Structure 1
Amino acid sequence: MGIPAALPDTERLVDWDELPEKVRALPANFNPMALGVLMAHQAEWISMQADLDIAVCEKGRRTGITFAQALTDTITAASAKEAGGDNIWYMADTKEKGLEFIGYVGKFAQIVARGQCTMVEQHIFVDQLEDGSSRNIQAFRVRFASGFRVTALSSRPENIHGLQGLVDIDEAALHKNVAHVLESATALLIWGGRIRVWSTHRGKKNAFNQLVQDVKAGRYGKRAKVIRISFDDAVANGLYERACFMRGAEPTEEGKRDWYTAIRSAYGPRKAAMREELDVIPRDGDGSAIPGVWIENAMPEVRPILRIVFDDDFPKRPELEREVWCATWCALNLIPALKKAAEGFDGRWAVGMDFARHRHFSVIKPARITQDLRRDLPFVIELANAPTRQQEQILWAMLDWLKDKQKAWTFAGDATGPGQTLMEYTGDRYGRAVYDEKHSTWGGGPVHEVTLSRAWYGEWMPKYIDLFQDGYITLPRDASLEDDHRAVEFIDGIPMVPRIERKDLKDAELVRHGDGAIAGALMNYAALNHVGGQVYEYHRVRPGAQSDRQVQIGAGWRNKEGIW
């Protein structure tokens, strides 16, 4: 059920025609209410709770789990003790969700309890602590003639200490301290209480995902189980038809297709978020590290993207033929772009390269370092399926031109894995940078061979992100390059590109891996570690902390706004 198996390996939007027939079908004369108030997946979630101490649902957005839980909780609280009645304690991550849930209960209660209940009440819940003291907790509740009640509390773990009954934890992944909430709720099991937890995911490292994995592994015993309900499961069970029913609209096949496609398209390039929120596939990271508005501000105009997508037969051509073709391309495209970019500019250059051979793009990002130390990229080179020799030829054509024109430049290249060979040859040709710890300067040649790692990302990616925040970088306006930067996420607090691939926005047959963002971070590394001067640091200082004059520190200048 749900998304085809091919999706986890790519970031493409699912084609409607590839979906299972159960999702696409619109049965003739379909009555969405024929099977009752609940859809099949809602009923399955409720029925599985009967014999479990801990029931967990990892779900897609807007699949109706909270609605279904409110209905069964109303029935439970309205029932006598001998019929299974009990108190319900509902905990959400926000006050608004608590009000929404208790509102459902209030409406259901008027039907289920036939007036033998109160309206929704706001009250102060007095919590008695073990040391004899007490505290007041704001809560919302509906009380029933059975003597039981449904109460919506805040998500503070201590709110359920000493309580007894059934505990609901809604959108558990969004709670500030879900691990402690679960620990507090577990004590209720001693006297026959039960715990129901449901949520969309918020990253693989979130406590909710850890709970899901632990329950699946049997670490909570046989009376704990997990159910998985995706957005597509809900669609297959009549979500679209019920939405039409509620609006008084007529469901149609074309309408269903447009509705479904619009929901997925609304995520734009945030495919990892779409997969997490709709397809119940937790992502590696914790959200985009570079806000979209920062990226847009850094792309003021359309500039050249020198892009080559080599066909599969090109590497099989004779070596001389490949060299002639590539030399011609450099003469017609690369060198004119360099000449135009160098007109009227006598400052230094910084060049970064993220290497790839087969699946991803190799990206070369040259930047002019302006007088105020801005990184201004006049163009970007993108190479797909490029033989290593031709990548070498293009890179060296650029570096040779900068050297011949006596431009000051520094290069940092990805020497991880298959890129190591090219970076070694480049270091041999132009000279490797050597760090002098005594004088805190770089000497030797202008080439940095960088081995990418979590530690490297942790130190250098934040410096690259700072350029966007402070408006100190300009890039070509380009959809694929923008998508590369949106791919940078916080993973365990470190901004880096997760292992998920994303479809290239210009050619659906190609994939990317945040290549442009990685090349940018390498470019900035080269800019901050240039040969012949002290290491630059990029800092922010408090407004007003410096006078209007510029202050020289080392080889860098800090202007009156406090920007290096």
Structure 2
Amino acid sequence: MKQVTVSQNVNLNLPDVFLTYQKKLMQATSQYSVVICEKSRRIGVTWSIAADAVLTAAKSRSSKGMDVLYIGFNLDMTREFIDTCATWAKSFHHAAAAVSEFIFDDIDENNHTKQIQAFRIRFDSGYEIIALTSRPRSLRGRQGYVIIDEAAFHDDLKELMKAALALLIWGGKVLIISTHDGVSNPFNEYVQDARAKKNKYHVLRIDFDDALKDGLYKRVCLTTGKEWSPESEAQWRQEIIDSYGEGADEELFCVPRLSSGAYIPAILVESRMRKDIPVVRLARSTEWGQKPEQERNREIELWCEETLSPLLDKISLMDTTSYVGGDFARSGDLSVIWPIQVMQNMVRWTPFVVELKNIPFRQQLQILWYIMDRLPRRAGAAFDARGNGQQMAEETADRYGHGHVHQVMTSAAWYLEAFPPYKSALEDATFTLPQDRDIANDHRTVVMQGGIPQIPAKRTKGKDGNQRHGDSLVAAVMAHWASMQNIVEYDYTPANGMEQSSSLRNSDDDDDNDSGGRFSKGAY
């Protein structure tokens, strides 16, 4: 394993490396036994804490060194943290063994065993950094500096805190870092109790503007090679705020929402996004929809050949099973078509997503069927059949088979059935998403109401100014749900003259007939 030279004494005053708010946090952890940091997203707090972890674990016992136990929200975050620690160890010239990965058993009170993946960096000081991906009970048998990252999103923060605080008895310390996830979240309760002096925890608040004031954007410019100016910083600030939409107060400015928080956390959504997944958007004017149908058909056929055919060609020879989900609208919300492919490792990969705005139903079916006809080993589909979607789903089921296409009458019962497995797939990294602001915002609209994940009635606006109502999220959940059903695979070749039905309803209603949220009463 690669060794580097040790240096026991490192000056924390590094103005060229750490921004002011990062140094304040590191200073707080050196002065207080328990520190709570409520923070904005993506401002480099965890990056500085990784340096703090290395400085702590690399010190000798006489210099108050100790083990560091990091607990992240998911495996990706944990790996990122331990890799950052390894980078800091080299930068500080501390002797450290290479990163190692290990599995240990976590035994609960019912004597059930769960295997937990962890990462470790050992230092010549005799201490180590251990990064864990859950809330292991083994914390109770350890000693040192506990870092709980994105604490608001852990399954049982209160139990985790009980285990962590026990380490204070023998000189340990605890750092709790997180963005907010609703006023009723235990993380916010700890923050409020500390501010009310109900405990002796030290609270540090760092919002997006605090970070900008201390030079965050200047650091971004330095890293990316951009030229800084007050105007470019103001524009960048607004772009970031716009990207979070209605979630900006909570995600960037440390203001917890009055609801119980987003059902699918932003940090989880962003961790599953991939840059190489395209989002294809098509919008037409009202006047275009009044053109002769044959003219519209020709234009859409050309658009499909130019835009969709290259994307479908890329996956046409892949040995994967395909599914598709959809959510339909006409003139109000968006129509979204979401294909997925089940890979050999069971990951539901998204090859592309199609969003349609103000497209007549006949042309929507033309696009949908163009995709479905060319998906390799297509095994099933599911479409929201409530409101305007009913005609679309029914026509598609007539074409491909009613055992092949699920016409889903979305309801509270269906949401309760479909959403938890979808969220679990995101948590397990078995479903991929495009790296797209509007799709991220759609995912953040879901909240728990009455114990059921729901999309509230209020609409949002996309980057293009168009109205959205969680449309892409519904399509993604439909695709995932379809892939979990028992659907028989078969091949289909349309008879001549039957490629497109002439019985489509020409309605300009929105996809939601009720005035409430994304579902109304009904079975599925």
Shift of 1:129: 9.2
Match of 1:207 in 2: 186
Q: Counterparts in 2 of 1:175-324, with a 5 A limit? A: 175-220=154-199, 222=200, 224-267=201-244, 270-271=245-246, 273-285=247-259, 286-287=261-262, 297-301=327-331
- 1:119 alignment partner, SS class: coil
Shift of 1:287: 2.9
Task: Give yes or no for contact 1:155–1:181 (8 Å, CA) kept in 2.
Answer: no
Question: Match for 2:117 among 131, 138, 155?
Answer: 138
Question: Match for 2:43 among 57, 63, 68?
Answer: 63
Q: Where does structure 2 lack aligned partners over 5 or more consecutive residues?
A: 1-12, 270-280, 282-325, 334-384, 390-409, 420-440, 466-509
Question: Structure 1, residues 218-254: CA drift from partner, whole Å, max 9, x if none?
Answer: 232x3x1111111111111111110111112221233
Separation in structure 1 between the aligned mates of residue 108 and residue 443 of structure 2, nearest angstrom: 50
Larger Rg: 1
Per mean C-alpha deviation after superposition, the further-off stretch among 251-260 and 74-83 is: 251-260
Match of 2:78 in 1: 98
Normalised TM-score (structure 2)? 0.51
Separation in structure 2 between the aligned mates of residue 524 and residue 84 of structure 1, nearest angstrom: 55
Shift of 1:128: 9.1
| Corresponding position: 1:89 with 2:69 | yes
Separation in structure 2 between the aligned mates of residue 97 and residue 38 of structure 1, nearest angstrom: 21
Separation in structure 1 between the aligned mates of residue 412 and residue 189 of structure 2, nearest angstrom: 28
Task: Give yes or no for contact 1:461–1:496 (8 Å, CA) kept in 2.
Answer: no
| Corresponding position: 1:539 with 2:514 | no
- Provide closer, same or farther for how the CA distance between residues 274 and 492 of structure 1 changes in structure 2, counting only shifts above 3 A: farther
Separation in structure 1 between the aligned mates of residue 458 and residue 153 of structure 2, nearest angstrom: 23
Task: Give yes or no for contact 1:153–1:159 (8 Å, CA) kept in 2.
Answer: no
What amino acid does structure 2 have at the position aligned with 1:243?
A: V
- Provide closer, same or farther for how the CA distance between residues 500 and 82 of structure 1 changes in structure 2, counting only shifts above 3 A: farther
- Provide closer, same or farther for how the CA distance between residues 53 and 499 of structure 1 changes in structure 2, counting only shifts above 3 A: farther
Task: Give yes or no for contact 1:464–1:520 (8 Å, CA) kept in 2.
Answer: no
Q: Counterparts in 2 of 1:154-553, with a 5 A limit? A: 154-220=133-199, 222=200, 224-267=201-244, 270-271=245-246, 273-285=247-259, 286-287=261-262, 297-301=327-331, 375=387, 462=412, 489-491=447-449, 493=451, 520-521=514-515, 538-540=522-524
Separation in structure 1 between the aligned mates of residue 442 and residue 91 of structure 2, nearest angstrom: 53
Normalised TM-score (structure 1)? 0.48
How many pairs align?
Answer: 317
Shift of 1:520: 3.2
Question: Structure 1, residues 21-55: CA drift from partner, whole Å, max 9, x if none?
Answer: xxxxxxxxxxxx98231111111111112232211
Shift of 1:100: 0.9
Question: Structure 1, residues 193-223: CA drift from partner, whole Å, max 9, x if none?
Answer: 1110101111122221122222222232x3x
Task: Give yes or no for contact 1:157–1:177 (8 Å, CA) kept in 2.
Answer: no
What amino acid does structure 2 have at the position aligned with 1:145?
A: D
- Provide closer, same or farther for how the CA distance between residues 522 and 239 of structure 1 changes in structure 2, counting only shifts above 3 A: closer
Identity %: 32
Question: Match for 2:95 among 98, 116, 120?
Answer: 116
Match of 1:36 in 2: 16
- Provide closer, same or farther for how the CA distance between residues 215 and 115 of structure 1 changes in structure 2, counting only shifts above 3 A: closer
Shift of 1:125: 4.7
Q: Where does structure 1 lack aligned partners over 5 or more consecutive residues?
A: 1-32, 304-372, 378-459, 470-482, 508-515, 529-536, 541-564
Shift of 1:111: 2.9
Separation in structure 2 between the aligned mates of residue 518 and residue 250 of structure 1, nearest angstrom: 47
